[in-house]
Amino acid sequence: MRDHVQDHSRQSRESDHGRAVAALRGQYAAIPAGAPVRLAKSTSNLFRFRADQSGGLDVARFDRVLSVDPDARTARVQGMTTYENLVDATLPHGLMPLVVPQLKTITLGGAVAGLGIESSSFRNGLPHESVRELEVMTGDGEVVVTGPHDDEHGGLFRGFPNSYGTLGYALRLEIELEPVKPYVKLRHVPFGDAAQCAEVIAAVCAERSYQGEPVDFVDGTVFSGGEQYLTLGSWADTAPRTSDYTSNEVYYRSIQRRRTDYLTVRDYLWRWDTDWFWCSRAFGVQHPLVRRLVPKRYLRSDVYRKVVAWDRRHKLSDRLSKAVQEPVIQDVEIPVDRLAEFLDFFHREIGISPVWLCPVRLRSRDGVWPLYPMDPDVLYVNVGFWSTVSLRPGEEQGSRNRLIEDKVTELGGHKSLYSDSYYREEEFWANYNGPTYQELKERYDPAGRLPDLYAKCVLRR
């Protein structure tokens, strides 16, 4: 009886999805020919702040988990579903997505079109590598269903990651899931220099163990050139205690104070969201007194981002600052054997701290993702930094970001495009496979109804 009810509910959700797709196609058809097409979204995790625009395709109905199959370890999910809701649907089955990006309101479609990463990425790669089926509304208003073994639309499937909604929008995805245990044991391992830290990252990711214990998750926190930590997570059936970093305690500060820790699986997945890594300090909510007064429901990354968006619109921080500030909000992937060199440059020329480290290797040796080409034989380390720097007299806005972009290219790395970019056009297309992108653009958005990738990521600052 219970299985019958679940099947009926699943079929009902799939039928609702079909009706939502039909309605969305109707919205597209109503847009005047030649007019640009965009989504009307209430939330975003991008850091390319644009002027408010009215209209757009209403995708509010594409925010549901359609089904979870515990036996096949898969989930069918609409593109605007947040990872918070997805995890809430999979954990009761003892399952989770292979990669769960750090912030609760990142959507599955967004993570696939714009890349995502987390501490399981050294063994599971990037979110798009666990997609088994992808339904896309393309720039010409057609709906295409494709997957890893599709001959007709396989180019779109492989080119969708890092396209940022310029080829089409993900409406539904089927993804792989993996088993979880109730708890994650953490070991915070200190290092006095980046070279030693990089060596251990490479060894741990190759062996999936450290000092005789298995390792299921790896990330790191750099507080300075002489103080960095690797956090090594291992699944655990039991825990002698668990910590709570969703209220008065601040997770990243515990890394300096504790050598071992335990979290429930859900709290581990969202350990960075409560304080937006460490960026909540800009709002004063890490002060013990202020933190006790702030309702717990406001300690979330999406709340902080809304405050930043308001500040960017009204330029309040710029007016209050005595120095000219440049936002430096980036994630870059650096080959592990060049990590120490990059961090030395970064401490010297940029000076932001803390900095996040997250190793990543493509899950499949034969995986081809042309718009974000990574060598499948190379272990990369994502370096994340999110703050502002004071410009020197005469220094132009964007100069520090350009410095970083040049260094990343020099070291054979890659830069994510969720924030401001300053590449020259020929340099941009050399980094992100311009010829393949143009072929896909001509096939799936021949009238240019969606923005061009370079225009969206670089020109629209």
**Is the C-alpha dihedral spanning 16, 97, 141, 40 positive or negative?**
positive
| Residue 400 buriedness (CB in 10 A; 0-12 / 13-18 / 19+) | buried
What is the bridge-based pairing of β-strands 414-415 and 325-335? antiparallel
Q: Which domains does the chain have, with CATH numbers?
A: 2-180 (3.30.465.10), 183-415 (3.40.462)
Return the structure tokens found at 264. 């429930």
Under a CB-based contact definition with an 8 Å cutoff, are residues 294 and 285 in contact? yes
Q: Which stretches in the chain have pLDDT values below 70?
A: 1-8, 41-55, 318-322, 367, 460-461
Question: How confident is the model at residue 92, as a pLDDT?
Answer: 98
Question: How confident is the model at residue 217, as a pLDDT?
Answer: 98
Rounded-to-integer distance, Cα 58 and Cα 288, Å: 41
Question: How confident is the model at residue 320, as a pLDDT?
Answer: 64
Under a CB-based contact definition with an 8 Å cutoff, are residues 130 and 112 in contact? no
Question: How confident is the model at residue 288, as a pLDDT?
Answer: 94
Question: How confident is the model at residue 460, as a pLDDT?
Answer: 61
Neighbours of 206 (CB within 10 A): 11
Which secondary structure element, helix H or strand E, spans residue 380, and what is its range? strand 380-390
Rounded-to-integer distance, Cα 381 and Cα 389, Å: 23
At residue 309, the 3 state secondary structure works out as helix
Return the structure tokens found at 431. 């980094």
Question: How confident is the model at residue 315, as a pLDDT?
Answer: 73
Question: How confident is the model at residue 9, as a pLDDT?
Answer: 78
Rounded-to-integer distance, Cα 253 and Cα 262, Å: 15
Rounded-to-integer distance, Cα 37 and Cα 321, Å: 38
Question: How confident is the model at residue 410, as a pLDDT?
Answer: 97
pLDDT tens column, 343-369? 999 999 999 999 999 999 999 877 689
Question: How confident is the model at residue 350, as a pLDDT?
Answer: 97
Question: How confident is the model at residue 402, as a pLDDT?
Answer: 96
Question: How confident is the model at residue 50, as a pLDDT?
Answer: 54
